[in-house]
Chain A
Amino acid sequence: DAGVTQSPTHLIKTRGQQVTLRCSPKSGHDTVSWYQQALGQGPQFIFQYYEEEERQRGNFPDRFSGHQFPNYSSELNVNALLLGDSALYLCASSLSGRAVYEQYFGPGTRLTVT
Chain B
Amino acid sequence: SQQGEEDPQALSIQEGENATMNCSYKTSINNLQWYRQNSGRGLVHLILIRSNEREKHSGRLRVTLDTSKKSSSLLITASRAADTASYFCATADNYGQNFVFGPGTRLSVLP
Inter-subunit contact A42/B101 (CB<8 Å)? yes
Q: Which of A4-50 contact B (CB under 8 A)?
A: 4, 33, 35, 37, 39-45, 48
Interface bracket on B: 20 to 34
* CB < 8 Å neighbour of B48 from A44, A102, A104, A105: A102
Q: Does A79 contact B (CB under 8 A)?
A: no
Q: Does A108 contact B (CB under 8 A)?
A: yes
- Name which of A33, A101, A108 has the most chain B CB atoms within 10 A of its CB: A101
Give the Cβ gap from B56 to chain A, nearest Cβ, in Å: 13
Interface bracket on A: 20 to 34
Chain A residues close to B by CB (< 8 Å): 4, 33, 35, 37, 39-45, 48, 56, 88, 90, 92, 98-108, 110
Q: Does B96 contact A (CB under 8 A)?
A: yes
A98–B40 CA distance with the chains assembled, in angstroms: 29
> Can you list 25 A-B contacts (CB < 8 A)?
A4-B42, A37-B40, A40-B103, A41-B103, A42-B2, A42-B104, A43-B101, A44-B101, A45-B99, A56-B98, A90-B43, A99-B96, A100-B50, A100-B92, A102-B45, A102-B48, A103-B33, A103-B45, A103-B99, A104-B45, A105-B35, A105-B43, A106-B42, A108-B40, A108-B41
Inter-subunit contact A105/B2 (CB<8 Å)? no
Inter-subunit contact A99/B30 (CB<8 Å)? yes
A50–B45 CA distance with the chains assembled, in angstroms: 21
Chain A residue numbers with a CB within 8 Å of B84 are none
Inter-subunit contact B42/A90 (CB<8 Å)? yes
A4–B102 CA distance with the chains assembled, in angstroms: 22
Q: Which of B36-71 contact A (CB under 8 A)?
A: 40-45, 48, 50
A92–B98 CA distance with the chains assembled, in angstroms: 13
